[in-house]
Amino acid sequence: MFNLAPEPPTQPKAGYVYVTNLQFTKSVYNVPTETVELEKEYLFPLVKSIEIERFKHNYSGIIVPFPYKKTSSKRPLDRMELQGTKLLDYFCKYKEVIRKQTDYYQKIRGSDAGEFYGLARVGPYSFAECYVAFRDSTKWRAVVISSVETGWGGTQKVCFSESCSINL
């Protein structure tokens, strides 16, 4: 998970943005704080359940990589499709950490789920134009979400944390 870098080291190239990885005190696996330039096309706003209020989404600015295409939603883009991208370089740099985190999720994803950086719970619904998102059971709140303003200009479809429930 990332935030836009508050002070990018240089002007990003067209189609790229500087992001800084987030640190969480309760994380089992940590990577050093780092600001990297990544391709905008693979970055999506993350909706967390805590951001959902009654008929309102309070976007916190968290960005996640989502290397999938609508036409093959069960498997992430493979290494050949990502070849030459900074995102693939980033995934490969932290391959061992990613693999440690995905043992449980590998069971959910199945035996033919693609590359090590693939995610659990991705499917055709991940590419819907509009969602009704529900906060987890701590508070019953819902909001309709279609896209979010990005910090780099324009809007982008969203991804959801596993604590959110969604309906199409």
Q: Please report which confidence band the pLDDT of residue 168 belongs to, taking 50, 70 and 90 as the band edges.
A: low
Q: Give mean pLDDT, residues 123-147.
A: 89
Mean pLDDT estimate for the chain: 90
The reported pLDDT for the residue numbered 114 is 87
The reported pLDDT for the residue numbered 121 is 84
Phi/psi of residue 86, nearest 5 degrees: -70, -25
The CA distance from 49 to 141, in Å, is 9
The CA distance from 60 to 57, in Å, is 9
Segment 58-108, tens digit of pLDDT: 999 999 999 999 988 889 999 999 999 999 999 999 999 888 775 677 777
